[in-house]
C-alpha cells in the first residue's frame, strides 16, 4: 500500500470552516467583479474586470471539483450543493462532470480506450485518420493548440454534446442542466438591465450589451478554458507518463502514483490555484481535501519520490513535452513523433 489507513484517515480530515471559507472567498471574487462590471460606465474598467472574473470562476471550478469528490467539507449534501453552484459560471452540469471525471478519468486513469483525457493515438490509429482528422490531432498536440483542448474535447463534447445513453443519473442531470441554462439566462438578464435596454436608445443599449457580453461572459469563460487546458496537460502529459492497454497487467494504485505529474508552480501561484498542482496526491486519494494536498504530496515524495514524476514548470518544459509526447506505442510503452519514431 502507498499509505497506511492511518495516513489516509489523517490526511482526509475535512473541515466545514476551511471548505466553506474557500468557497465563499471564490464566490465573493466572482460576484464582486461581476457587480462592479455591471455598474461601471467605463468600457475600459469593464474590460479590466474580465481578469478577476476569470480568476473567480476558475477558482470556483477548482473548489467545485473538490466538492464533487465529496472532499471539501464533512457533509455530502453540502458538498453536492457547493459543486452545483461552483460549476455554474463555467456551464458544467455537475452530474455530467461526475460521470466523466470521477467515474471515468479517476477510475481508469491512463487506460487506453477508457480514460479519454488527453489519450494519445497509436501510430496505426493516427494513420487511419482522414487528413482533416490528422490536422486536428496535431493541432491539439501542439504548444498552442493544447490550450483549446478543454473547450472542444471536454466542455463541448462531454458537457454539451454528450451521449444521452451514458447518463447514469438522469434526474440529477435534468436538474443540473436546467440550473446551468437558468444561470445563463440570469446572466443575460443582468446584462440587459445594466445596458439600459428599454431605458436608453436601442443602438446605445445594444452596443453596451454586446460589450458586457464580451467582458462578463465570453472572455472569462474562454480564459478559464485556456487555463484548464494548460493545467490538465501538465498534469497528465510528460515523457515519463505511461499509457496502458485495457486488459490487465496494471495496478490502478501504481498508475496514479507513477503517471500523474506534480508540476511545481511558483509558491504563490500554486496557492492561488488551490494547490491543484499537487496532483499526484489527489489522484492517489481523492478523499484528501485541497487544503491538505501540500502535506499529502510532501509525504508521498518523502516515501515514494523515486517512483513519482516531478517537473518544475517553465514554458520551455511545457514546449519540450508537447514536442516529445505526440503518439504512443502501447507495446513498448514509449512516446513517438508523428512519423512513428520513438522520442522516449
pLDDT for the residue 205: 84
Please return the burial class of 223, using the count of CB atoms within 10 Å of its CB with bins 0-12, 13-18 and 19+: middle
pLDDT for the residue 38: 93
pLDDT for the residue 287: 93
pLDDT for the residue 1: 66
Distance CA 7, CA 10 (A): 5
Residue 126 in this model has a pLDDT that exceeds 90: yes
User: What pLDDT digit, counting tens, does each position of 181-219 carry?
Assistant: 999 999 999 999 998 876 777 788 899 999 999 999 999
pLDDT for the residue 60: 98
Answer with the residue of higher pLDDT: 255 or 197.
255
Distance CA 13, CA 285 (A): 12
pLDDT class of 88 with cuts at 50, 70, 90: very high
Residue 272 in this model has a pLDDT that exceeds 50: yes
pLDDT for the residue 9: 73
Contacts of 76-81 with CB under 8 Å at 24 or more apart are: 78/16, 78/19, 78/20, 79/19
- Measure Cα distances from 188 to 61, 132, 140, 210, 281 in Å: 21, 36, 32, 10, 40
User: What pLDDT digit, counting tens, does each position of 286-295 carry?
Assistant: 999 999 999 9
Q: How far is CA 310 from the centre of its chain?
A: 20
- Measure Cα distances from 330 to 12, 80, 121, 336, 342 in Å: 35, 38, 10, 10, 12
Work out the percent of the chain whose per-residue pLDDT is above 90. 80
Characterise 3 by phi-psi region: left (phi > 0), alpha (psi -120 to 50), beta (else): beta
pLDDT class of 168 with cuts at 50, 70, 90: low
pLDDT for the residue 165: 47
Residue 69 in this model has a pLDDT that exceeds 70: yes
pLDDT class of 253 with cuts at 50, 70, 90: confident
CB 256 within 8 A of CB 280: yes
For the chain, the C-alpha Rg in angstroms (whole number) is: 21
Residue 268 in this model has a pLDDT that exceeds 80: yes
Compute the mean pLDDT over every residue in the chain, rounded to the nearest whole number: 92
C-alpha dihedral sign at 238, 244, 245, 246: negative
pLDDT class of 37 with cuts at 50, 70, 90: very high
φ, ψ of residue 194 to 5 degrees: the values are -70, -30
The lowest-confidence range among 236-240, 246-250, 315-319 is 246-250
- Grid look-up 458586457 returns 212
pLDDT for the residue 163: 60
pLDDT class of 27 with cuts at 50, 70, 90: very high
Domain spans of the chain, in order of start: 96-336
Closest by CA to 141, choosing from 311, 313, 327, is 327
pLDDT for the residue 167: 59
Please return the burial class of 217, using the count of CB atoms within 10 Å of its CB with bins 0-12, 13-18 and 19+: buried
Question: Average of pLDDT values for 70-77?
Answer: 96
Question: Average of pLDDT values for 163-179?
Answer: 76
Distance CA 279, CA 286 (A): 10
CB 293 within 8 A of CB 342: no
Amino acid at each position: 500500500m502507498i499509505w497506511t489507513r492511518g495516513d489516509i484517515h489523517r490526511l482526509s480530515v475535512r473541515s466545514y470552516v476551511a471548505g466553506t471559507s474557500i468557497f465563499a472567498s471564490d464566490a465573493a471574487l466572482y460576484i464582486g467583479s461581476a457587480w462592479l462590471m455591471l455598474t461601471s460606465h467605463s468600457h475600459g474598467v469593464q474590460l479590466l474586470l474580465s481578469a478577476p472574473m476569470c480568476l473567480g470562476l476558475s477558482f470556483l471550478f477548482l473548489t467545485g471539483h473538490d466538492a464533487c469528490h465529496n472532499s471539501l467539507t464533512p457533509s455530502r449534501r453540502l458538498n453536492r450543493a457547493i459543486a452545483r453552484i461552483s460549476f455554474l459560471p463555467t456551464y458544467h452540469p455537475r452530474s455530467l462532470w461526475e460521470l466523466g471525471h470521477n467515474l471515468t478519468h479517476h477510475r481508469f486513469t491512463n487506460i487506453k480506450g477508457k480514460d479519454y483525457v488527453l489519450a494519445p493515438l497509436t501510430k496505426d490509429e493516427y494513420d487511419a485518420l482522414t487528413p482533416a482528422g490528422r490536422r486536428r490531432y496535431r493541432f491539439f498536440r501542439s504548444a498552442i493548440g493544447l490550450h483549446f483542448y478543454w473547450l472542444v474535447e471536454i466542455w463541448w463534447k462531454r458537457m454539451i454534446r454528450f451521449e444521452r445513453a451514458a447518463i447514469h443519473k438522469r434526474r440529477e442531470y435534468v436538474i443540473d442542466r436546467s440550473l446551468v441554462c437558468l444561470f445563463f439566462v440570469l446572466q443575460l438578464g443582468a446584462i440587459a438591465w445594466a445596458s439600459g435596454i428599454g431605458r436608453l436608445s436601442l443602438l446605445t443599449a445594444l452596443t453596451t450589451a454586446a460589450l458586457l457580453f464580451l467582458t462578463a461572459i465570453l472572455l472569462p469563460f474562454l480564459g478559464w478554458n485556456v487555463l484548464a487546458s494548460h493545467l490538465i496537460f501538465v498534469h497528465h502529459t510528460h515523457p515519463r507518463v505511461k499509457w496502458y492497454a485495457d486488459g490487465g497487467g496494471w495496478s490502478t494504485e501504481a498508475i496514479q502514483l507513477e503517471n500523474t505529474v506534480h508540476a511545481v508552480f511558483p509558491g504563490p501561484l500554486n496557492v492561488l490555484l488551490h494547490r491543484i498542482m499537487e496532483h499526484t496526491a489527489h489522484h492517489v486519494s481523492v478523499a484528501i481535501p485541497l487544503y491538505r494536498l501540500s502535506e499529502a504530496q510532501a509525504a508521498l515524495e518523502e516515501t515514494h519520490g523515486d517512483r513519482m514524476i516531478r517537473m518544475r514548470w517553465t514554458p520551455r518544459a511545457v514546449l519540450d513535452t508537447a514536442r516529445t509526447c505526440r503518439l504512443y506505442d502501447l507495446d513498448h510503452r514509449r512516446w513517438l513523433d508523428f512519423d512513428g519514431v520513438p522520442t522516449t
